[in-house]
Chain A
Amino acid sequence: MRGINKAFGSNAVLKGVDFAVDGGEICALLGENGAGKSTLMNILGGVFPADSGEIYIDGQKREFTKPADSLGAGIAFIHQELNLINDLTVYENMYVGRELRVGGKKHGMLDLERERRETEEMFARMGMDLDPTAMVRNLDASYKQIVEITRSVMMNASLIIMDEPTTSLTDPEIERVFSMMSTLREQGVGIVFISHKLREVTRLCTRFAVLRDGAMVAEGDVRAVTTDDLARYMVGHEVRTEALQRDRLLGASVLRAENLSDSAHFKGVSFSVRAGEVLGVTGLLGDGRSELFLSIFGAGSDYTGQVYLEDRPIKLGSTTQALRHGIAYLPRDRKENGVLKDMDVIENGSITVWPIISKLGFIDMARRDSLFEDQVKRLRIKMGRKTDIITSLSGGNQQKVVLAKWLSRSPKALILDNPTQGVDVGAKEEIYDIIMGLADQGVAIIVLSSEAQEVIRVCDRAIVMYHGAVMGEVRGAEMNEHDIMRLATGAAVC
């Protein structure tokens, strides 16, 4: 790609970007949210055209006006939201849109048997142990990812673009996807890998390219740089990696749980968190931590055991009650659970306070505005007008708005589930700062995270879960990736 320019309205997103990938290499495309990575890849994937600039495939100039053009040129774009049909089997998904017919005719009965066989052969060739007849719905996230990658290989893609493939995966699942990517690389396929996780980049990729504010600021061999270098290229200044937790005067126990179990997701969980404390809860996918805290919050399955709020036993039957008790829960998957996509910024940031600032059912609009503006200042939310639609904000700012709605209720206990999911490096640091500030003010905070690094940096101590049970607690020097992983994989019990 040469001299690519693209503007949306008056906002120039790409400014003369050059970018190239060879076969047999994995090139990391890095940059903060809004740096132009997705725009660049969307142009390559034929989602929309560039304003100016040229694209060459195997030395030939090509024009892409729709995704099919790009696919025809051997470029497969695997989006963050996977394009699989949950209610079909794996092999049917492989052939969606180019189904095989009996006898190779154009119209006719589907040749399901051949589809299944060829899928099986493909998996065998890639060294993947996966049943082609499984329903996609029942696969875990990494296998879905693998199905999608395999599909692009079966379509003879010579270049695969992967947009943050690992955000929703756990570590062993990431390994699975990575080993597949390495296999493909050895077979001469070029891969563009978009990720915010720099350690993945240094491990997996051969080359890197960094976009900042729509311009290519650095590229080169991954072996020549460290993660710190990459982070610096991305944000344009030094990034902190040091631990953030500090000694605080801890208050009395705020939220305590004894022996919580439900029928499927968690069993025998006990923990306690004090005012001003940041408790981490970590583990791999399927550890049940989200389900556990959803249940405590009154939005999940029924449980046995006892929860205490400030040493008084409580059982929340609904989220409305949870709010009244001063418990807040920032859910994971902002798009699905956090953002009201049709509503404007201030409504997203104030929905939790409507009941308490209403008189006779009428919302006190002035109170609403002032409460929200306090949070905008406190969280340093960058936005246009407060009546702009929420989806006009960047991921990090959307997350801050979702957080704002909880902070407006001044919670005693704040549960944060994957608080930095899908936000860029800079916004991540800001969110960490906010967490630290809240803890200083005596809020009891629980951070659920699958990133060991995050837990280590932010939390005072952490409990590690494995298949719904607490495997152990780490604090101080024990709080390192090795020990956390040992507990999270259940290795400690074997």
Chain B
Amino acid sequence: MEFSEDSGKRNFASWFVKSWRTRPLFSTGVVLAVMVILQTLALGFDFPSFGDWLVRWLMNWNNILRNNAGIGIISLGMTFVIISGGIDLAVGSTLVAIGAVVMVLIDAGPNGVLLKMGITGVPAYIIAIAAGVAFGAILGEITGLLVTKGKLPPFIATLGTMKICRSVTQHFMQGYTPQVPKGFLQIASFPIAGQLVMPILYWFFFAVIFYIISKRTAFGRQVTAVGSNERAARLSGVNVQRVKRMVYTLIGVMVSFSAILQVSRIGSMDYANAGSGNEMDAISAVIVGGTSMMGGRGFILGTVFGTLIIAVMNNLLNLLGVPPFLREAFKGVIVIGAVLLQKRESAS
């Protein structure tokens, strides 16, 4: 009996090690589970009843998810960019630019563009959202053209657009504070069963869409093919330039939705600081989720896990009372750890 128990343990251990090494979704899933357990422990059990504890636990999760929905949505687009072998540093800045465009359009104050044209209410919101998304798509398409036609490395192209977008936005929005109408705030703040869960629903909705695109569509598979071996993909009749352009357009669109969400949640935007660091947070989420920086291998589900790992860790540090300035350091540790893990896989 003892013997079989022992070998059973060993089988489990070797299965675990093997899965950990070969299946990024497994390892990120395990890390996430451990994080959640630690976080639950940190939350403590010092509550009068199980019901109270559960409510507290769920509220805490609601907060985590809602606060990370914006970055989660951007990370989905970033996953495709990185799988295709590229990178997008501009997301934080395009977020501000798109946010500014949306707010100028829906401004309820005297300068509101749509208000002057006599359009208010839901039609105005729809126009503003459509314009925001279109603007994001155009910005993304410009990046795509710089990368494909201009043959610029994506790092350089998006470094450039990052600087341009924020600087121009800050200049034109000086001393102008648009008022976001109440109705527009409902987009993110419409309560369901008394809870503010809309951002979470948007995030999960897009995650499902992206998952399906990545697995089931010709475009999604072509993105992987381009990242895996660009020459072979081109020689197989894949329009590599089009795929790359679409990848950047798609992340532009996702940034738009994130911007709209933010405008609708907060009702204002700090053009100097909003979105700054978003690019690194999104890249971190993608990398922690097991997607290879070299392109060709990546997981939408992994990115959702990655976003959650970082989010839960932040929450955990918060619960433990770690000083805010130190929290970024833990993010750094997580990212480095994730990449070290990926290295080990390819070596073995």
Q: Chain A: residues with CB nearer than 8 A to chain B?
A: 297, 299, 318-320, 322-323, 329, 331, 336-343, 347, 351-352, 354-355, 358, 361-363, 365, 405
Give which listed residue, B219, B229, B239, B292, contacts A320 with CB less than 8 A.
Answer: B239
Q: A363–B218 contact, CB under 8 A?
A: yes
Give which listed residue, B219, B227, B236, B239, contacts A351 with CB less than 8 A.
Answer: B236
Residues in B whose Cβ lies below 8 Å from that of A362: 216-218
B297 at interface (Cβ–Cβ under 8 A)? yes
Q: Give residues 183-222 of B contacting A (CB, 8 Å).
A: 216-219, 221-222
Shortest Cβ gap from A321 to chain B (Å): 9
Q: B297–A342 contact, CB under 8 A?
A: yes
Given contacts A319-B237, A337-B231, A361-B217, 12 further A-B contacts (CB under 8 A): A320-B237, A320-B239, A337-B232, A341-B296, A342-B228, A342-B292, A351-B221, A355-B237, A358-B217, A361-B219, A362-B217, A363-B218
B225 at interface (Cβ–Cβ under 8 A)? yes
Q: B237–A340 contact, CB under 8 A?
A: no
Contact with A along B234-247 (1 / 0, CB 8 A): 11111100000000
B224 at interface (Cβ–Cβ under 8 A)? yes
Shortest Cβ gap from B299 to chain A (Å): 12
Q: B239–A338 contact, CB under 8 A?
A: no
Residues in A whose Cβ lies below 8 Å from that of B224: 340, 342-343, 347
For chains A and B in complex, what number of residue pairs have CB atoms within 8 angstroms?
79
B233 at interface (Cβ–Cβ under 8 A)? yes
Instruction: Report Cα–Cα, A6/B218, bound state, in Å.
Output: 42
Mind listing 22 A-B residue pairs with CB under 8 Å? A299-B234, A319-B234, A323-B237, A337-B229, A337-B235, A338-B232, A340-B224, A340-B228, A340-B229, A340-B233, A341-B296, A342-B224, A342-B292, A351-B237, A351-B238, A355-B237, A358-B217, A361-B218, A362-B218, A363-B218, A363-B221, A405-B236
Residues in B whose Cβ lies below 8 Å from that of A354: 218, 221-222
Residues in A whose Cβ lies below 8 Å from that of B221: 347, 351, 354, 363
In chain B, what residue has the closest Cβ to A351? B236
Q: A340–B217 contact, CB under 8 A?
A: no
Residues in B whose Cβ lies below 8 Å from that of A331: 232, 235
Q: Give the contact-size bracket for chain B.
A: 20 to 34
Residues in A whose Cβ lies below 8 Å from that of B234: 299, 319
Majority secondary structure, B binding face? helix
Give which listed residue, A299, A338, A355, A405, contacts B218 with CB less than 8 A.
Answer: A355
Instruction: Report Cα–Cα, A329/B222, bound state, in Å.
Output: 18
Instruction: Report Cα–Cα, A437/B150, bound state, in Å.
Output: 45
Q: A322–B237 contact, CB under 8 A?
A: yes
| Among A331, A336, A341, A343: residue with most chain B CB under 10 A | A343
In chain A, what residue has the closest Cβ to B231? A337
Shortest Cβ gap from A298 to chain B (Å): 9
Q: Chain B: residues with CB nearer than 8 A to chain A?
A: 216-219, 221-222, 224-225, 227-229, 231-239, 292, 296-297
Shortest Cβ gap from A354 to chain B (Å): 4
Give which listed residue, B218, B227, B229, contacts A358 with CB less than 8 A.
Answer: B218
Give which listed residue, B216, B218, B219, B296, contacts A340 with CB less than 8 A.
Answer: B296
Q: A319–B235 contact, CB under 8 A?
A: yes
In chain A, what residue has the closest Cβ to B239? A320
Q: B228–A341 contact, CB under 8 A?
A: yes
Residues in A whose Cβ lies below 8 Å from that of B239: 318, 320
Q: A329–B235 contact, CB under 8 A?
A: yes
Residues in B whose Cβ lies below 8 Å from that of A351: 221-222, 225, 233, 236-238
Residues in A whose Cβ lies below 8 Å from that of B231: 336-337
Instruction: Report Cα–Cα, A351/B217, bound state, in Å.
Output: 11
Residues in A whose Cβ lies below 8 Å from that of B228: 340-343
Instruction: Report Cα–Cα, A476/B228, bound state, in Å.
Output: 44
Residues in B whose Cβ lies below 8 Å from that of A405: 236
Give which listed residue, B217, B219, B235, contacts A299 with CB less than 8 A.
Answer: B235
Give which listed residue, B217, B227, B237, B297, contacts A352 with CB less than 8 A.
Answer: B237
Shortest Cβ gap from B248 to chain A (Å): 18
Q: B236–A352 contact, CB under 8 A?
A: yes
In chain B, what residue has the closest Cβ to A361? B217
Instruction: Report Cα–Cα, A451/B232, bound state, in Å.
Output: 24
Shortest Cβ gap from A377 to chain B (Å): 22
Instruction: Report Cα–Cα, A405/B225, bound state, in Å.
Output: 14
Q: B222–A340 contact, CB under 8 A?
A: no
Residues in A whose Cβ lies below 8 Å from that of B217: 358, 361-363
| Among A323, A337, A340, A363: residue with most chain B CB under 10 A | A340
Residues in A whose Cβ lies below 8 Å from that of B227: 342
Q: B296–A363 contact, CB under 8 A?
A: no
In chain B, what residue has the closest Cβ to A327? B237
Task: Indicate whether A363 sits within 8 Å of B216 (C-beta atoms), given known contacts A318-B239, A320-B237.
Answer: yes
| Among B216, B221, B235: residue with most chain A CB under 10 A | B235
Shortest Cβ gap from A390 to chain B (Å): 10
In chain B, what residue has the closest Cβ to A294? B235
Shortest Cβ gap from A168 to chain B (Å): 17
Instruction: Report Cα–Cα, A347/B224, bound state, in Å.
Output: 10
Residues in A whose Cβ lies below 8 Å from that of B225: 340, 343, 347, 351
Instruction: Report Cα–Cα, A343/B236, bound state, in Å.
Output: 14
Q: A365–B235 contact, CB under 8 A?
A: no
Shortest Cβ gap from A405 to chain B (Å): 6
Residues in A whose Cβ lies below 8 Å from that of B222: 351, 354
Shortest Cβ gap from B24 to chain A (Å): 12
Instruction: Report Cα–Cα, A331/B229, bound state, in Å.
Output: 13
Instruction: Report Cα–Cα, A320/B229, bound state, in Å.
Output: 16
Residues in B whose Cβ lies below 8 Å from that of A320: 237-239
Q: A342–B296 contact, CB under 8 A?
A: yes
Residues in B whose Cβ lies below 8 Å from that of A355: 218, 237
In chain A, what residue has the closest Cβ to B225? A340
In chain A, what residue has the closest Cβ to B297? A342
Instruction: Report Cα–Cα, A351/B229, bound state, in Å.
Output: 12
In chain B, what residue has the closest Cβ to A322? B237
Instruction: Report Cα–Cα, A204/B82, bound state, in Å.
Output: 49
Residues in B whose Cβ lies below 8 Å from that of A340: 224-225, 228-229, 232-233, 296
Instruction: Report Cα–Cα, A351/B220, bound state, in Å.
Output: 12
Residues in B whose Cβ lies below 8 Å from that of A347: 221, 224-225
Q: A365–B216 contact, CB under 8 A?
A: yes
| Among B218, B227, B234, B292: residue with most chain A CB under 10 A | B218
Instruction: Report Cα–Cα, A347/B235, bound state, in Å.
Output: 15
Residues in B whose Cβ lies below 8 Å from that of A329: 235
Instruction: Report Cα–Cα, A331/B237, bound state, in Å.
Output: 12
Instruction: Report Cα–Cα, A339/B232, bound state, in Å.
Output: 6
Residues in B whose Cβ lies below 8 Å from that of A299: 234-235
